[in-house]
Structure 1
Amino acid sequence: MKQPIVIIGIGEIGSVFAQGLLRIGHPVYPITRSMDMSVEAAQIPEPALVIVAVGETDLHPTLAQLPDAWKTRVALLQNELLPPDWERHGLTDPTVISVWFEKKRGQAVKIVVPSPLYGHNATLLASCLNALDIPHYLMHDHAELLFELVRKNYYILVSNIAGLRVGGTVSTLWAQHPALVEAVARDVHALQEYLTGKTLDHAELLQAMLVAFAGDPEHQCMGRSAPARLQRALEIADTAGLAVPTLRDIAASRS
């Protein structure tokens, strides 16, 4: 029998990975909110992988409680994810996937663009996605990983925050409001440079974001999390002393 795989958080995305892993012969052990991870780690001390599939707001509390036996086996897939998020918990070089597919209850998986995979267990996740016919590709260095994580953050933050002002889909957002997109993207870029401590290529990231816009042109800009994303972005900007004038203007117009 193949090694077991632990999935912490068994929502829609976690369930997709569970299905794929079962198809390739791995026993899957879900961890829910009501379960004690330290107790479970005593029963499953050496899983092949520990996929942390909780939402981004639950990521830090989950990683803070992660048993030591599982820390070298972690795979992360959250939105708004950056290296400092795992480094603050003492994790080094986890497996990471930037998820570019959606799964909503009662609906099939919807692909936006291929999902990039990085890390020691990236090939295992690739086999999982192959079993589900979900497109993906492997990354091989930290610079590529960082670019793809920031690209996803551009996509989420720009579409959500600009959507708070104009609504609509990502295709109409870019077609009808390019100046707004570029203004929000500049503010998001400042936040990403602060959070990563790196100089990033804004023009390249903007174009990569637009490729994702084209991958699912009817994607709605403003999800339920949009107001909270704007609030978090402004809290980060206040801490960093960043102007982010467009984000502040959008927030002021909603107050």
Structure 2
Amino acid sequence: MNDPIVIIGIGEIGGVLARGFLRTGHPVYPVTRDMDLALQAQQTPEPAMVVVAVGEQALSPLLEVLPPPWRERCVLLQNELLPADWTRHHLPSPTVMSVWFEKKPGQDVKQVVPTPVYGPHAAAVLKALGAVGIDGVQLDDPDALLFELVRKNLYILTTNLCGLEVGGDVAALANEHADLLVTISGEVLDLQEALTGQKLDRGALVEAMHVAFAGDPAHRCQGRSAPARLQRAVAQGERLGLKLPALHELGARHLG
């Protein structure tokens, strides 16, 4: 029998991955928020991997208390993820996936574009995704991973923040609100450059965002987390000394 896989957080995405790992022959041990992590790590000290499938706001507090036996086996998949989110917790070499599929309660999985994966457990993750009909691609190096993480952040933040203003789907955003799209995406990239400390290939990232638009043109812009994302982006910009006037204007209109 293959080694077990621990999944911390059994929401919709965690559930999809659990099915994939089961179909590839791995026992899956779920860990919920009311379970003692240290006790679970004692009972399963050497799993094949530990998939951290909690929401982005819960990630940092969880990594602070993640038991040592599990730290070198992590798989991360949160939205708004950047390398600083794991390096500040001294994770040695996590496997990281930029999730481009969604699963709503009572609905089938919807894929936008293939999901990129990088790290020591990438092959096993991609095999599990394939077992449930989800396309993925293995990345070759950390630079490719950074590009894909920023691409996803650009997509999520731009569509969510524009959605607060105009609603609609990504096709309408691109076709009917191009000026707003350019302005907000530009400030999102300003923020991503400041957060990563790197000069980014803006043209390639914007082009990749539009590829994702084409992958699901009817994808709604404004998710339920949009106000929190805007509030977080404005706060990050202020902490980093960025102007971001368009984001501040959105905040004045939509954050009360």
TM superposition score category, shorter chain reference: over 0.9
- Work out the CA distance in 2 between the residues paired with 1:57 and 1:209: 24
- Work out the CA distance in 2 between the residues paired with 1:36 and 1:235: 33
Superposed, 1:37-48 pairs within 5 Å as 37-48=37-48
Gaps of 5+ in 2: none
Task: Give 1:92 deviation, angstroms.
Answer: 2.3
Task: Give 1:128 deviation, angstroms.
Answer: 0.2
Find out whether 1:188 has 2:201 as its counterpart: no
AA of the residue aligned to 2:83 = P
- Work out the CA distance in 1 between the residues paired with 2:86 and 2:173: 33
**Aligned-partner SS, 1:218:** coil
**Aligned-partner SS, 1:238:** helix
* Counterpart for residue 28 of structure 1: 28
- Work out the CA distance in 1 between the residues paired with 2:66 and 2:46: 14
* Counterpart for residue 247 of structure 1: 247
**Aligned-partner SS, 1:252:** helix
Task: Give 1:219 deviation, angstroms.
Answer: 0.5
* Counterpart for residue 4 of structure 2: 4
Identity of paired residues, percent?
Answer: 56
- Work out the CA distance in 2 between the residues paired with 1:46 and 1:92: 16
- Work out the CA distance in 2 between the residues paired with 1:71 and 1:192: 26
Summarize deviations over 1:24-58 as a string: whole Å, max 9, x none: 11000000000011000000000000000001011
**Aligned-partner SS, 1:30:** strand
* Counterpart for residue 238 of structure 2: 238
* Counterpart for residue 61 of structure 1: 61
- Work out the CA distance in 2 between the residues paired with 1:92 and 1:80: 20
Find out whether 1:87 has 2:87 as its counterpart: yes
AA of the residue aligned to 1:51 = V
- Number of residue-to-residue matches in the alignment: 255
* Counterpart for residue 212 of structure 2: 212
Gaps of 5+ in 1: none
Task: Give 1:203 deviation, angstroms.
Answer: 1.1
**Aligned-partner SS, 1:181:** helix
Q: Structure 1 length normalisation: TM-score?
A: 0.99
- Work out the CA distance in 2 between the residues paired with 1:219 and 1:106: 17
**Aligned-partner SS, 1:64:** helix
State the Cα RMSD in Å. 0.6
- Work out the CA distance in 1 between the residues paired with 2:146 and 2:49: 22
- Work out the CA distance in 2 between the residues paired with 1:138 and 1:14: 20
Summarize deviations over 1:172-224 as a string: whole Å, max 9, x none: 00100111111001110111011111110111111100110110000000011
AA of the residue aligned to 1:122 = A
Task: Give 1:253 deviation, angstroms.
Answer: 2.1
**Aligned-partner SS, 2:15:** helix
**Aligned-partner SS, 1:191:** helix
**Aligned-partner SS, 2:117:** strand
Structure 1 residue ranges, 4+ long, deviating more than 2 angstroms after superposition: none
Task: Give 1:245 deviation, angstroms.
Answer: 1.1
- Work out the CA distance in 1 between the residues paired with 2:4 and 2:193: 38
Find out whether 1:135 has 2:141 as its counterpart: no
* Counterpart for residue 126 of structure 1: 126
Task: Give 1:133 deviation, angstroms.
Answer: 1.3
Task: Give 1:147 deviation, angstroms.
Answer: 0.1
**Aligned-partner SS, 2:72:** helix
**Aligned-partner SS, 2:189:** helix
Superposed, 1:63-78 pairs within 5 Å as 63-78=63-78
Task: Give 1:244 deviation, angstroms.
Answer: 0.6
